[in-house]
Structure 1
């Protein structure tokens, strides 16, 4: 795959760092390839203004939020119910996973109860109850408001009802004023619309070409129309209900963010996908590429590579055959992706595995001397990666030349030594 994009390696690395390595340089190049040549600079500026939250930042924000609500930990006789907004498998349920990794949760686990629905909650009359509704992002505020109203009959059971989030849009948060006892989102994580004249993304009156670019593609990527006055408009072309958000999380993008960031079609490659089919396609392509690399290592790899990534052995007569197991495949994938700067949560999504499975693969790799218990590569693991990289790069060139020579059409001048029996 080749890219005819005017961007040097330094600028590409800066963009990747700006996005906290939630996506790699190749992903950025693929996304920039969606645009016309004269639109690339505008697209790069939009990318430079995208805020991405890593899993570590999410855990820190959640820990600070709950510590702020309950500064002396949860007192005896007080129960805190944590209820994520939306259906299981959506971003709300993902946030509860990160919450369980915080020190606040570990210190107060006995007084915390995580639930997906308030319907089946039973109460102890001797306890005081508070409710914390949890979600990663407030966009228009509609989904949070609808969820709250649908659960309204349960709200009288709580002494206080809080909302904790990672980030949000100013207009959406303002819509929820008065509903909750308190909304806890860091002030620095509250954003105005990207193309609002008073926002600081692109400067006063300089936002128009960026808006036009996002709208040009957004109206085809999110084509829903709604009647506004006497005309129909593409209300979701710049994010759900014209949210104009430029926010994403390491595991995906909210639909309030510009569709050019997360939407997918036959002609559009997303940067940080939102929908699971896009993630499945990404995972499938990655697995094909890794399978190809492992086939090269099997044919040409040194003994340390053979022993580490082809652990399934079978003897047939005097011959011994080796093959890659699913664990070998995943350990190699984790090594490769971690060296490219991807975080564990990104690796899980790219490979289509759960975090608990990832943790087990780290333990399996640790038993082989490849990983530390923290998930970092050991010196042996780093040596494996370097040897694999050299082997693949070297033999890819050889195989490419062989393919070129095999299928090259040659012009051969054949002159017979004899003609009609004469030399």
Structure 2
């Protein structure tokens, strides 16, 4: 059964300004049109509480995750002797968040510095490792909610037994971007020798520390959350998030089920940060369609995407290619790449959205580099910013030619920054 609207969003100046304020808070992780559709889940009288949830929602992108992990790793090594070395173990089944989070950590400057000195290594297969070779064991994950999953897997996957086989117990740490307060308590109460390094978050409806208190009507927020959970029939285990964790965060690679289900539940509800793979793939397909629409508009206008008149005035280094057709996968991906890079999207997410392999993405970058849109470091050039802004302006003019009551309603608002890395 599809989701039904609680109300039809009114595109007033105040409403659009509210969304504009929210975009930086959510780090431009979702399109304005998606925020609008999520808000339409709610009855109009409850919009205030939905906006409040968005005000305190925590979105962690790749760069921030890397920064947090590196900062916490530094704190762990401050607790060690200068000669101590560490083994980092991504716990959980392969492909889960524990293994995915090793990439940002292993590419952080502090980790690379330790690696050069031979003081740190990441390994998963404990059977091939001698526990006596390491002074410190670091168990890593992106997020820990109730702590139950950690405790179960720590025992079930044999990590605890492997560590305790050592003649002298090493220093054992948990490194996580975020941990819920109840998760920290469960881990440290269950395993007295483990120290947790993570940014702690309390339950969102905890009266003693919830950020919602500062926004007023604290009790009403919880009542409204449960009201909609019951309406969309959230299963008992996920009321308030898994085991009532009452989390309020998402990552660029996924949303923990500990987060309030109003943000990720996909049955009879339009999620803002979906968990289900099918929902994410559907969104990727819709995104491709929107890029195809851009290309179709430009074909009808006879505009060469790589040689707009305005762009030629900004730079004369772009080779003009006559009568180009923009319906093949490569050109489709170049336009999508620019759009996503302007929004600060990481490469592995770009691959996911566009359905590209690493080699295919390399090809798109190389093509973009040859026409001056990215440099050797894969950073967008000022030419790319000028080009895309001009393209958006030209397309906006075409859309507005036949103004009707229907097409004047915003259907897919797009955030295009006026500046990029200081360039206009």
State the TM-score bracket (shorter-chain normalisation): 0.7 to 0.9
Unaligned runs of 5+ residues in structure 1 are 225-233, 314-318, 405-423
Is 1:14 the equivalent of 2:16? Answer: no
Write out aligned runs for 1:65-144 (5 A).
Answer: 65-71=72-78, 79-109=85-115, 110-118=118-126, 120-123=127-130, 127-144=133-150
Give the C-alpha shift of residue 92 in structure 1: 1.7
Aligned to 1:257: 259
Instruction: Tell me if structure 1 keeps the 8 A contact 2:9–2:39.
Output: no
Write out aligned runs for 1:59-70 (5 A).
Answer: 59-70=66-77
Give the C-alpha shift of residue 247 in structure 1: 1.8
Give the C-alpha shift of residue 135 in structure 1: 0.7
Instruction: Tell me if structure 2 keeps the 8 A contact 1:83–1:131.
Output: yes
Work out which of the residue numbers 225, 231, 246 in structure 2 matches 1:214. Answer: 225
Aligned to 1:246: 248
In angstroms, what is the RMSD of aligned CA positions? 3.2
Change (3 A) 1:183 1:273: same
Give the C-alpha shift of residue 283 in structure 1: 0.3
Q: Which has the higher contact order (CA 8 A, sep 6+)?
A: 2
Aligned to 2:281: 280
What TM-score do the two structures reach when normalised by structure 2? 0.79
Is 1:390 the equivalent of 2:397? Answer: no
Give the C-alpha shift of residue 208 in structure 1: 2.0
Greater shift in the superposed pair: 40-49 or 269-278: 269-278
What is the CA deviation profile of residues 311-364 of structure 1, one whole-angstrom value per residue up to 9, with x for unaligned ones?
9x9xxxxx9774444332222112123334655565455435567865664344
Write out aligned runs for 1:175-194 (5 A).
Answer: 175-178=186-189, 179=191, 180-185=193-198, 189-194=199-204
Work out which of the residue numbers 365, 373, 381 in structure 1 matches 2:368. Answer: 365
What is the CA deviation profile of residues 168-200 of structure 1, one whole-angstrom value per residue up to 9, with x for unaligned ones?
111111111152432111xxx312111122223
Change (3 A) 1:197 1:67: closer
Aligned to 1:305: 306
Instruction: Tell me if structure 1 keeps the 8 A contact 2:304–2:323.
Output: no
Change (3 A) 1:176 1:72: closer
Is 1:200 the equivalent of 2:210? Answer: yes
Work out which of the residue numbers 64, 67, 70 in structure 2 matches 1:57. Answer: 64
Change (3 A) 1:161 1:378: same
Aligned to 1:328: 331
Write out aligned runs for 1:12-51 (5 A).
Answer: 12-51=19-58
Change (3 A) 1:74 1:384: farther
Aligned mates of 1:72, 1:154 — CA distance in 2: 23
> How many residues are aligned here?
378
Greater shift in the superposed pair: 256-265 or 331-340: 331-340
What TM-score do the two structures reach when normalised by structure 1? 0.79
The DSSP-based 3-state class of the residue aligned with 1:202 is helix
The DSSP-based 3-state class of the residue aligned with 2:101 is helix
Change (3 A) 1:26 1:74: farther
Change (3 A) 1:207 1:91: same
Aligned to 2:152: 146
Aligned mates of 2:256, 2:346 — CA distance in 1: 19
Aligned mates of 2:69, 2:357 — CA distance in 1: 21
Aligned to 1:418: none
Larger radius of gyration: 1
Aligned mates of 2:344, 2:24 — CA distance in 1: 9
Aligned mates of 1:322, 1:291 — CA distance in 2: 12
The DSSP-based 3-state class of the residue aligned with 1:69 is helix
